[in-house]
């Protein structure tokens, strides 16, 4: 087959209905929870008001990371931090829900500062940074300039792929180490999108190879995942399996588990290869049947955290899990779909309670309290997190879309 034919057949494969980034799953038969839908509308209004509080405090050229309620201090980052896309992404989702033009204007303002990261080849986080931001902007109001920014970002991300290892490198580190973290599964969506736009199948191949290598090496027999795999770049062999942000090398760090879940759901959506759906289902079963998943379904920061049941929860892991399960439910058999939906509903309901949802004007304008960023590093512990907000909003958008 000529290259052109290969390219066309690949594109044909890709022409199955797919969900554009961050959009909702297909509608499935599901009884309406009117009270929860009403709560979600209230949450959108409250979140928009909160983000105006936050916007009033964001210095030019900076991106909100977190806020420390006890000292009333913000922490901001530069555009190169992995979280820089979540604030514009949240603003754009909230704009769609409220039609408040000031949210859109603030998103456009900060996207100008973010654009330069399209050339950043020093991070694997370009999917988070550019697809949650420019991907949403392009979905709402498509522009050739957004396509160019996203395609350039995908090219930058692809430079970090090593065919011997079969993975995109996560963190640059000392010689002899090639570190890949489970979180990296979240960056593949940008690459799938890039093949759809450009017809260049190399992005697709990198994404699928990364997903396959990760499936082989990152998971334990119970479908929990390690945080970090250290590969030998010369042979592609595994040198070490360990954690960075979890409680222990052999523990199940909560956010890592849900990044993996979300990543394989996206990979299934984009490829329709059932192996990825099986992987997502197995990860979901590990999470939902875990004896340490609390009844309110907001995970402890690590499923094996010391001190459970007094250990801290990570609300961001709850947000990500709810959003992921809502998409997964659209692909599952009825009994499991029902379970996924119920868990997602429980999470949204509990994150909407005063335990997690900040009172108006508090929490520095962030929506959700009680996230855990990096506990072993003692950073961002029991605080709001920009990604906790982003995936909470996304979960509500997806839930609402199920009932259109």
Q: How many residues bind ligand GLY (CB under 6 A)?
A: 4
The two tokens of residue 394 are 């996304």
Q: How far apart are CA 368 and CA 353, in angstroms?
A: 10
Taking CB under 6 A as the rule, which mask of x and - marks residues 204-243 in contact with ligand GLY?
A: ----------------------------------------
Contact 85, 114 (CB under 8 A): yes
Out of 218, 255, 269, 398, the residue judged to bind ligand GLY by CB under 6 A: 255
**What is the rounded radius of gyration, in angstroms, for the C-alpha atoms of the chain?**
20
Q: Decide whether 97 or 170 has the Cβ nearer to ligand GLY.
A: 170
Exactly one of 100, 115, 183, 382 binds ligand GLY (CB under 6 A); that residue is: 183
Residues in a beta bridge with 371: 383
Give me the DSSP letters along 330-388: TTS-HHHHHHHHHHHHHHHHHHTSTTTBPPTT-GGG-SB--EEEETTTTEEEEE--HHH
Shortest CB 259 distance to ligand GLY, Å: 6
Q: Count other C-beta atoms under 10 Å from residue 227's C-beta.
A: 26
CB of 303 to ligand GLY, least distance (A): 15
Q: Considering beta carbons, is residue 36 or 182 the nearer one to ligand GLY?
A: 182
63's torsion region: left (phi>0), alpha (psi -120 to 50) or beta? beta
Residue window 339-378: x/- pattern of binding to ligand GLY, with contact defined by CB under 6 A: ----------------------------------x-----
124 belongs to the binding site for ligand GLY (CB under 6 A): no
**Helix, strand, coil percentages for the chain (3-state, nearest 5):** 55, 10, 35
The separation between CA 232 and the C-alpha centre of its own chain, rounded to angstroms, equals: 27
Q: Which of residues 269-328 bind ligand GLY (CB under 6 A)?
A: none
Of 90, 86, 74, give the one whose Cα is nearest residue 114: 86
Q: Which is nearer to ligand GLY, 83 or 165 (CB)?
A: 83
Task: Specify the residue, 202 or 379, whose C-beta has the smaller distance to ligand GLY.
Answer: 379
Catalytic residue among 125, 302, 382, 389: 125
Between 341 and 370, whose beta carbon lies closer to ligand GLY? Answer: 370
Q: Identify which of residues 332 and 369 has a Cβ nearer to ligand GLY in the complex.
A: 369
Q: Give least dist CB 46 to ligand GLY, A.
A: 25
Minimum distance, C-beta of residue 373 to ligand GLY, in the bound complex (Å) = 6
Query: What stretches of 134-250 show up as alpha helix (H) in DSSP?
Result: 136-140, 144-158, 188-198, 201-217
What is the smallest separation between the CB atom of 317 and ligand GLY, expressed in angstroms?
A: 9
Minimum distance between the CB of residue 15 and ligand GLY, rounded to whole angstroms? Answer: 33
Residue in 33, 38, 100, 183 annotated catalytic: 183
- Annotated active-site residue 183? The verdict is yes
- Minimal distance, residue 291 CB to ligand GLY, in Å: 24
Tracing tokens 């931001």 back to the chain, one arrives at 133
Q: Which of 180, 132, 125 is nearest to 157 (CA)?
A: 125
| Distance in angstroms (rounded) separating the CA atoms of residues 131 and 150 | 7
- Which tokens go with 51? 């983000």
Three-state DSSP class for residue 238: strand
Nearer to ligand GLY, 255 or 290 (CB): 255
How long, in residues, is the chain? 404
Which amino acids are annotated catalytic? 125, 183
Residues near ligand GLY (CB under 6 A) are 183, 245, 255, 373
């Amino acid at each position: 087959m000529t290259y052109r034919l290969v390219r066309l057949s690949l594109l044909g494969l890709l022409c199955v209905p797919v969900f554009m980034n961050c959009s909702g799953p297909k509608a499935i038969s599901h009884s309406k929870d009117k009270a929860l839908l009403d709560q979600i509308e209230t949450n959108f209004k409250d979140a928009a008001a909160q983000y105006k509080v936050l916007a009033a405090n964001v210095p030019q050229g900076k991106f909100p990371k977190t806020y420390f309620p006890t000292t009333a201090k913000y922490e901001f980052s530069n555009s190169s931090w992995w979280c820089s896309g979540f604030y514009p992404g949240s603003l754009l989702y909230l704009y769609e829900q409220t039609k408040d033009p000031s949210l859109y204007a603030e998103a456009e303002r900060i996207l100008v500062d973010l654009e330069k990261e399209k050339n950043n080849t020093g991070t694997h986080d370009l999917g988070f940074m550019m697809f949650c931001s420019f991907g949403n902007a392009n979905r709402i109001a498509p522009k050739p300039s957004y396509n160019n920014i996203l395609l350039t970002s995908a090219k930058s991300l692809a430079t970090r792929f090593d065919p011997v290892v079969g993975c995109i490198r996560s963190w640059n580190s000392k010689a002899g180490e090639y570190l890949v973290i489970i979180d990296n599964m979240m960056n593949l969506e940008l690459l799938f999108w890039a093949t759809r736009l450009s017809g260049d199948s190399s992005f697709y191949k990198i994404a699928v190879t990364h997903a396959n290598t990760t499936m082989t090496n990152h998971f334990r027999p119970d479908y929990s995942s390690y945080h970090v795999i250290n590969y030998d770049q010369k042979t592609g062999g595994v040198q070490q399996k360990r954690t960075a942000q979890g409680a222990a090398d052999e523990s199940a760090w909560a956010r890592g588990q849900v990044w993996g879940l979300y990543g394989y759901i996206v990979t299934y959506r984009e490829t329709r290869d059932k192996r990825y759906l099986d992987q997502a289902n197995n990860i979901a079963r590990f999470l939902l049947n875990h004896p340490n998943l609390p009844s309110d379904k907001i995970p402890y920061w690590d499923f094996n955290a010391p001190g459970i049941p007094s250990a801290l929860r990570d609300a961001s892991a709850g947000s990500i899990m709810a959003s992921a399960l809502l998409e997964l439910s659209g692909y599952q058999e009825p009994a499991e779909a029902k379970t996924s939906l119920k868990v997602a509903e429980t999470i949204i309901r509990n994150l909407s309670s005063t335990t997690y949802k900040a009172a108006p004007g508090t929490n520095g304008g962030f929506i959700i309290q009680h996230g855990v960023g990096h506990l072993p590093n003692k950073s961002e512990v029991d605080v709001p997190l920009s990604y906790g907000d982003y995936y909470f909003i996304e979960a509500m958008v997806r839930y609402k879309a199920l009932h259109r």
